[in-house]
Chains A and B, each alone.
Chain A
Amino acid sequence: MSDTTSVPRPSSAVSRPVSEALLNEKWDRCLSNMLIKSTLGLGFGVVFSVLLFKRRAWPAFVGVGFGAGRAYEECNWSLKQASRDLKRTPA
């Protein structure tokens, strides 16, 4: 089953995701985005804390917060855009 089904799917997946996987894909992208941005923020925070703030902890937290917030906002925006597109297409 898995082999047989995997044969036709890659082609379709490459061109256009299957409809039931639309939401999941968005979630995946959001999560990865959040991970990357929060790690970036953390990195910047750590560097700042080491260089400027005598190895205090809060700059790192602040960086993580910035990254996560940015990722959340992007995710939110993408989801809303998708729902707007949905509304537009059926009409």
Chain B
Amino acid sequence: MLRSSLRSVRAVGNAPIASAVSRQWQPAITSFVRVAGRRFYADEKRIDDSKLPKSETTTSVASELPSLKTESQVASKDVPLTPPEPEAIASSAATGAKLPTPPPTPVKKKKGFFRRLRNLVLTLMILGTVTFGGGVAYSRISDNFHDFFTEYVPFGEQAVLYFEELDLKKRYPRSLSGSSSRPKDTGAEVKIAPQSGASWRVADSGERTSSAVGKSSSKKETKSKGESKPVSEAPAKPAEKIIESAPTKQTTSVGSYKAPEVDEPSRFPPASPIDPLTVKDAEDPVVQDLVKMLNDIITVVNADNADDRFSSTIGKAKNELNKIGSKIRALKTQAEEEAASQVASRVNEFDSAANELVSRVEKALIAQESAWREEFEAEIKRLHETYNSRIQTEMEREKLVHEQKLTNKLLEQAVQLKRQFQSEIKNSVEAERQGRLGRLDQLSGAIKELEQLTTGWNDVVDMNLKTQQLHVAVEAVRASLEDTEHPRPFVRELVALRSIASDDDVVNAAIASINPTAYQRGISNPSQLIDRFRRVASEVRKASLLPEDAGVASHASSWVLSKVMFKKQGLAAGDDVESILTRTQTYLEEGDLDSAAREMNGLQGWAKTLSKDWLGEVRKVLEVQQALDVSCTLSI
């Protein structure tokens, strides 16, 4: 409210004095205010706001104008307000939901409902027709749409078909009439067809043609009669009437024009079509043309109303025409008779000619037949001869082949006989020879046996030699092993042994079992082994008392304590290091390297590691000894 008042004030003028002045100049201000209200109409409804100053004004001085204005305004406001109340009551009584509907709107609706409905229906119809027409038009253009439209839109197919037919009619306007005329023609053709057609007979064809001609002519006659009948019959009666009742009728019909003379001309127009009296002459086209011409002339005359002038001439012309028609008919009949006689003579001629032809043809056929028969016989003869000759040649060949086969067989038999003879001779000679040479064979067998014996002895001697050599070689090896004070390689001796016993697998295996280092460096003899054992034993003793995981202290203590330990003698029993050592020593002293090595192998821990090298040495020696023993046993 405040804002509106301010605005109104502003509209009048920004000066505050305006408010003070407004009371004094009520009507002027109100007019101003109204102007202001109009100005702000677009913004919001300021008319109501602007009323307040008016109401104020009513209280003050000028009562007439403002009061009128307020009344009018109130009335404008109240008129819409008053109707809703009774309606609302009624509506609330009936249905409570229709309360919010404002009063002016129903009035408008009631007014516009039918109009809207009508508009809607109209628009729908227009739209529908437009779309239908568009669919029809478009279906004429595109085939796809045509299918769709005719299938799914009601009456679409009919409409499209109708338009298409229209189009067709536009394009081919004569096609319909032509189509109607065609079936008649085809029917006529069908009638003729069974009688027509080419045949091999000469006489029948002539008959057929004549009959066809006759029929066609008769048809033509009927047709022409049919055409001419309506023309001829109709005029025939009037023509008689012309002569008989011309005066009576002329008086009745042309009485309006002229009484005495005008009878004839009035009669002639109906008489003009009577002219084609030439009922029989209609056959001839010339006569028809003439009749037509005359008719035309008569119609012209009738049209000119100059009947009386030309009636006589026309009557003459008619008579002439009739005469001409009768003449032509006579001529025609004459011509027909002549033609018939000619045709008959021609037929006779043709018959005779045909008979001649047939006889000639038959003669020719007979001649041909005889000629062919002769040819056939000659051919058969020729074939017979050729076959005979062929058979003869075949026979000769067969004979030749047979003879050759026979000679071959003979030759084979001769060869076989020869062979038999030879074998018999051989057998006899052999028997003779064996009888004498049997003894020689025995002698040679004896000699062979002797040879075998000698060779066996040679083998034995060889074996002996070999064994001797082997033995010598083995002995050499052994000597080389034992003689020397210090280890020496004995590769050369072993190579000799191997070359001697190259074919002996056992010796080879024995030699292969020796460690290569043994014969490359040589092996130590027992005295050396014992010497080394002493050194090893002292070291082992030092480490004999070591615990499992020994440090410096335990090593030192074991070294110290080993000095104090008692020494055993002989084959001492027990598993401790000291007893093992003493046993090994005794075995060594006895020369039993094998058991000594076994004893030493039983050591554990540090003692074993310390004696590892000595054990390896002993093993090498043992291997060599074993190999030598094996080869020695073989050689013996």
Using a CB–CB cutoff of 8 Å, the interface residues on chain A facing chain B are 4-5, 8, 18-24, 27, 30, 72, 75-76, 79-80, 83-84, 86, 90
The answer to whether B486 touches A4, judged by C-beta atoms less than 8 angstroms apart, is yes
Note all chain A residues with C-beta closer than 8 A to B521.
8
- In chain A, what residue has the closest Cβ to B486? A4
* Residue in A22, A24, A76, A90 whose beta carbon sits within 8 Å of that of B552 in the complex: A76
Contact B552 A72 (CB under 8 A): yes
Residue of A nearest to B608 (CB): A90
Give the interface centre of B487, B539, B553 by most chain A CB atoms within 10 Å: B539
Give me the 6 closest cross-chain CB pairs, A-B, nearest first. A19-B613, A19-B612, A76-B551, A20-B539, A20-B536, A4-B486
A38 to B432, CA, bound (A): 120
Assess whether B610 is in contact with A23, with CB atoms less than 8 Å apart. yes
- Known A23-B606, A86-B609: A80·B550 in contact at CB below 8 Å: yes
CA distance A18 to B536 in the complex (A): 10
Q: Establish whether residues B539 and A83, one from each chain, have CB atoms under 8 Å apart when the complex forms.
A: no
Interchain CA distance A13-B550 in the complex, whole Å:
25
B614 at the binding interface (Cβ < 8 Å): yes
Checking A23, A80, A86, A90 against B551 with a beta-carbon cut-off of 8 angstroms, the contacting residue is A80
A83 contacts B549, CB within 8 Å? yes
Are A79 and B543 in contact (CB-based, < 8 A)? no
The answer on a CB contact under 8 Å between B485 and A22 is no
Decide if B575 is an interface residue (CB 8 Å cutoff). no
Cα-based distance from A72 to B553 in the complex (angstroms)? 9
Residue of A nearest to B616 (CB): A19
Residue B590 CB within 8 A of the other chain: no
A53 to chain B, nearest CB (A): 31
A11 to chain B, nearest CB (A): 10
Please give 16 more A-B residue pairs, beta carbons under 8 A apart, in addition to A19-B611, A22-B610, A30-B552. A18-B613, A19-B610, A19-B612, A20-B535, A20-B614, A21-B539, A23-B543, A23-B555, A72-B552, A76-B552, A80-B549, A80-B550, A83-B546, A84-B549, A86-B608, A86-B609
Bitwise, B391-430 to A at CB < 8 A (1) or not (0) is 0000000000000000000000000000000000000000
Q: Is B133 an interface residue (CB 8 A)?
A: no
Smallest CB-CB separation from B531: which chain A residue?
A1
Closest B residue to A84 by CB, please name it.
Answer: B549
Decide if A23 touches B552 in the complex (CB within 8 Å).
no
Please name 21 pairs of A and B residues whose Cβ atoms are closer than 8 Å in the assembled complex, sorted by A. Answer: A4-B485, A19-B609, A19-B610, A20-B535, A22-B610, A23-B539, A23-B542, A23-B606, A24-B539, A30-B552, A72-B552, A75-B552, A79-B550, A79-B551, A79-B552, A80-B549, A80-B550, A83-B548, A83-B605, A86-B606, A86-B608
- Chain B residues contacting A80 (CB-CB under 8 Å) are 549-551
In the complex, what residues of B have CB within 8 A of residue A18's CB?
613
Shortest CB-to-CB span from A20 to chain B, Å, is: 4
- Nearest A-chain residue to B540, judged by Cβ: A20
Number of interface residues of B (CB under 8 A): 27
Most B CB atoms within 10 A — which of A18, A27, A90? A18
A24 to B609, CA, bound (A): 13
Provide the bound-state CA to CA distance between A90 and B608, in Å.
Answer: 9
Contacting pair A86 B605 (CB below 8 A) = yes
Closest to B609 in A: A86
Q: Is the Cβ of A79 less than 8 Å from the Cβ of B555?
A: yes
Cross-chain contact A20 with B549 (CB below 8 angstroms): no
Cα separation A19 to B613 with both chains bound (whole Å): 6
Beta-carbon nearest neighbor of A34 in chain B: B552
Q: What chain A residues lie within 8 Å of B606 (beta carbons)?
A: 23, 83, 86
The answer on a CB contact under 8 Å between A20 and B613 is yes
Return chain A residues, CB-CB under 8 Å to B540. Answer: 20
Q: Which residues of A contact B613 (CB under 8 A)?
A: 18-20
Would you call B550 and A83 a contact (CB within 8 A)? yes
In B502-552, the 8 Å CB interface with A consists of 521, 535-536, 539-540, 542-543, 546, 548-552
**What's the Cα separation between A80 and B555 when bound, in Å?**
10
Chain B: minimal CB distance from A28 (Å): 13
Residues in A neighbouring B612, C-beta threshold 8 A: 19
Nearest Cβ distance between residue A91 and chain B, in whole angstroms? 12
A23 vs B613: C-alpha distance when bound (angstroms):
14
Instruction: Name the CB-closest residue of B to A85.
Output: B609
Residues of B within 8 A of A20 (CB): 535-536, 539-540, 610-611, 613-614
The CA-CA distance from A23 to B542 in the complex, in Å, is: 9
> Chain B residue with minimal CB distance to A23?
B543
Measured between beta carbons, the chain B residues less than 8 angstroms from A76 are: 551-553
* Nearest neighbor of B538 in chain A, beta-carbon distance: A20
Contacts of A27 in B (CB 8 A): 555
Contacts of A90 in B (CB 8 A): 608
How long is the Cα–Cα vector from A19 to B543 in the complex, in angstroms?
13
**List of A residues within 8 angstroms of B611 by Cβ:** 19-20
Residues of A within 8 A of B608 (CB): 86, 90
Complex Cα–Cα for A90 and B615 (A)? 15
Minimum distance in angstroms from B488 CB to a CB of chain A: 10
Nearest A residue to B612 via CB reads: A19
Docked pose: A24 CA to B605 CA in angstroms: 16
A27 to B550, CA, bound (A): 13
CA distance A76 to B619 in the complex (A): 34
In the complex, which residue of chain B has the Cβ closest to the Cβ of A73? B552
Roughly how many angstroms separate A27 CA and B554 CA in the complex, as a whole number? 13
- How far apart are the CA atoms of A90 and B548 in the complex, in Å? 14
